[in-house]
Structure 1
Amino acid sequence: MAGLVVGLLALGGCSQMPKFDALSVSGDKVLGLVTPYRVEIVQGNVVTKEQLAAVKPGMTRVQVRDVLGSPLLTDVFHESRWDYVFTIRRQGAAPQNRHILLTFDGDQLSKIDAPDDLPTEKEFIASINTLKVTGKEPKLELTEEERKALPPPVRTAAASAPEPMGPTRDYPPLEPRR
């Protein structure tokens, strides 16, 4: 009888212990202690406000593809529909999901369904930049005053063909003479 009581007490104590099995993952931590590395998953097409502004109803499929790229989804059962889907999951950044639906009438774009909160290119880059670098952006263009202050390019005489090195050969023409 005493062994039965001890056994029941031991089993009751086990129910209070935390689970330590290989599949014990809660949230972002394994065993409540370790944060594993998560692979960055990027799928689909990034479509920014600037790109979507360049797409207008009446454009052909080729013109739309030139601006937005190939759609992620083209359905053989709905040939008039292109889906541009974008998802990204990165550590240190909020996950992003966007879906843009383009509808065609024949070869012409007829309708654009897009979310109102599409980011600009700069906003998108800032949202995925987990490495927050401080400092100013690099200067990419010269002002007109800086261009005028540059020395003019040096013009050199047209270089003549260099003298061939080694023996020169004279080959007969490839086509027979008539």
Structure 2
Amino acid sequence: MRPLLASLPLLALLGGCSYLPTWDSLPSVTGEKVLGLVTPYRVEVVQGNVLTKEMVARVKPGMPKAQVRDLLGSPLLTDVFHEARWDYVFTIRRQGAPEQQRLVVAEFDGERLKALTVPDDLPTEQEFVASVNTFKPTRSQPKLALTDAERSALPPPKKSTEAAPTAAAEGPAPGRIYPPLESKTGAGS
């Protein structure tokens, strides 16, 4: 009888397992929200070289590889089998901003730049900064200065009956005394 009573809780526990949800029945992350309510934090992923129209405009055919590297930076991809081609790839995924992906290809003839393939949607520096700036202030910025009309509307400062003491009337300021940084006895004595 005792073994039967001891096995009842185990049987009840195993029987309860049939009521556990399966992976298919659990709510999933769909789109931008979990359960249609909560937006999870997404890690910002920035990879590659940011190139703008201003940077690419400085690069001219016939430049040596070292000068192209100085102007555009080191390429993200250099292939051992295709040493005459450098791929400058840029991707960025930020929450609240559209995903961006661009590819600039530099082709070389020996040690000199032969051609630079640039996408049509390459932004200027200002356009790039505006596209990645997702900060939108929720409240207005504080005003830091008064206008002349606001300044003239202020009450005049109160005149004190006691004269403020001057440094000359009090005498010279007392000198500061600092403790020594090291003891004079020394470590070896």
Interval of TM-score (by shorter of Structure 1 and Structure 2): 0.5 to 0.7
For 1:43, give the aligned amino acid: Q
CA shift at 1:21, angstroms? 1.7
Q: Is the partner of 1:71 in helix, strand or coil?
A: coil
* Secondary structure in structure 2 of the residue aligned to 1:64: helix
**Residue 99 (structure 2) aligns with:** 95
What is the DSSP-based 3-state SS (H/G/I as helix, E as strand, rest coil) of the residue aligned with 1:66? helix
Distance in 2 (CA, whole Å) between partners of 1:54 and 1:100 is 14
Q: Aligned residue for 1:83? A: 87
Distance change in 2, residues 1:132/1:34 (3 Å): closer
Cα distance in 1 for partners of 2:100, 2:80 equals 27
CA contact (8 A) 1:20 1:31 kept: no
- Counterpart of 1:21 in structure 2: which amino acid? L
2:30 and 2:135 mapped to 1: Cα distance? 26
Instruction: Give the drift of 1:20.
Output: 5.1
Residue type of the alignment partner of 2:35: L
Same amino acid, percent of matched pairs: 67
Q: What corresponds to 2:41 in structure 1?
A: 37
> What is the total number of aligned residue pairs between the two structures?
116
For residues 97 and 111 of structure 2, the distance between their equivalents in structure 1, rounded to whole angstroms, comes to 39
In the other structure, the counterpart of 1:21 is 26
How far did residue 25 of structure 1 move? Answer: 1.3
Structure 1 vs Structure 2 CA RMSD? 1.7
What is the TM-score with the length of structure 1 in the denominator?
0.62
Q: CA–CA distance in 1 between the matches of 2:104 and 2:65?
A: 15
Cα displacement (A) at 1:82? 0.1
Q: Distance in 2 between matches of 1:31 and 1:132?
A: 26
1:108 to 102, 107, 112: 112
- TM norm structure 2: 0.58
CA distance in 2, matches of 1:31, 1:20: 13
Distance 1:77 1:31 in 2: 48
* Cα distance in 1, alignment partners of residues 136 and 26 from structure 2: 37
Larger radius of gyration: 2
- Unpaired stretches in structure 2, ≥5 consecutive residues: 1-23, 142-189
Provide the secondary structure at the position in 2 that maps to 1:127: helix
- SS in structure 2 of the partner of residue 83 of structure 1: strand
Structure 1 moving runs of 4+ over 3 Å = 132-135
Residue of structure 2 in register with 1:172 after alignment: none
Structure 1's unaligned 5+ residue stretches are 1-18, 136-178
